[in-house]
């Protein structure tokens, strides 16, 4: 859990990527890692790309900006291509299968936003994505991820978020079984 | 509003510094600036320092990490001294007068946390600090700051936060008058 890892969550503004980055950061901090988080905001006239980066390390990272991503999430086409330059070799890339048309090679594509709509709130697509990423990358137990959600998400949205987390995990596991079948 | 500026809000974990950084970021984005935000999280066993940095620029900042702070807030002694290396010349430094003992030269010291306690919620010290910083640095109108609070803070805490913002502004203005008297 404290090995060096670089994770970028990207999409469009309003998709809750900063919240899901805080949840992920909490998972790694709870396991004793140091986490540097960074994000940038552009004036809305420039389009709505949003991203949040985490650099996880056993100690304070020498260089706190992402330089070779291990994990990349793309939830919207406006963020597609923006991270190609810093994609590490063998990186896990997860994209939303409906919203993202420009898909990097060897990506996993899942209907994350459609699932959020089915759960009744499109804003939990980011949490579904967290569950799916963990099913694919297996960096922690689902219990550790649930604990971080409990410590971060407002109480009245907790049940919905835990449901979203589980839905993402199941979706990605099922997809993995299909592919390897 | 789009000139290059570097701002660090520092203190201990749980003081809401990430939230106040998001509010400040929103002020500058609303004015058309680009904002890079970064923070780091350490395992709690290492002590509770928390910080959030903003680098504001007319375009995408060349280097998105703070290197020469224009404005520094220190809300807790555990963050004192941590930013000395990157304090710009003539920087505005605001510290909590009760919690911070190691005070950089030429700092403004105000009882921000005591005022938060008077308002009934110690967690608004960060918002009081925003009002005070704006009174001292005058980077935007109070209306712009209030608008950013409205767009960021949950509805049920809005009145308290607007009150805190105004209290900080008044406190710093009054303090400035005393000093220049």
Three-state SS at B26: helix
Report yes or no: B106 at the A interface, CB cutoff 8 Å: no
- When pLDDT is cut at 50, 70 and 90, the band that residue B138 belongs to is very high
Residues 6+ apart with CB under 8 A from B129: B9, B20, B73, B75, B94, B96, B112, B168
pTM for this predicted structure: 0.85
- When pLDDT is cut at 50, 70 and 90, the band that residue B45 belongs to is very low
- Taking the CA of residue A118 and the nearest CA in chain B, the distance in Å comes to 26
Contact assignment for B43 to A33 by CB distance below 8 Å: yes
Give chain B positions within 8 Å (CB) of A154: 154
- When pLDDT is cut at 50, 70 and 90, the band that residue A174 belongs to is confident
Report yes or no: B80 at the A interface, CB cutoff 8 Å: no
Strands (E), A23-178: 34-41, 49-57, 69-74, 87-96, 108-110
Give chain B positions within 8 Å (CB) of A43: 29, 32-34
Distance separating alpha carbons of residues B40 and B47, to the nearest angstrom: 13
Contact assignment for A36 to B37 by CB distance below 8 Å: no
Contact assignment for A40 to B60 by CB distance below 8 Å: yes
Query: Mean of the per-residue pLDDT values for chain A?
Result: 91
Nearest Cα residue to B67 out of B36, B43, B26: B36
Contact assignment for A32 to B41 by CB distance below 8 Å: no
Kindly tell me if the per-residue pLDDT of A177 is higher than 80.
no
């Amino acid at each position: 859990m404290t090995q060096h890892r670089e994770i970028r969550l990207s999409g469009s503004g309003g998709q809750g990527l900063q919240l899901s980055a805080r949840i992920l950061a909490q998972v790694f901090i709870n396991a004793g890692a140091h986490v540097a988080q960074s994000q940038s905001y552009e004036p809305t006239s420039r389009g709505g790309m949003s991203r949040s980066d985490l650099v996880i390390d056993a100690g304070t990272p020498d260089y706190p900006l992402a330089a070779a991503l291990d994990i990349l999430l793309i939830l919207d086409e406006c963020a597609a291509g923006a991270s190609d330059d810093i994609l590490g070799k063998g990186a896990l890339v997860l994209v939303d299968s409906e919203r993202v048309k420009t898909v990097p090679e060897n990506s996993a594509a899942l209907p994350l936003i459609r699932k959020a709509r089915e759960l009744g709130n499109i804003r939990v697509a980011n949490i579904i994505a967290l569950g799916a990423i963990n099913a694919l990358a297996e960096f922690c137990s689902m219990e550790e991820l649930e604990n971080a959600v409990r410590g971060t998400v407002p109480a009245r949205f907790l049940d919905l978020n835990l449901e979203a987390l589980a839905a993402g995990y199941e979706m990605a596991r099922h997809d993995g079984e299909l592919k390897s079948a």
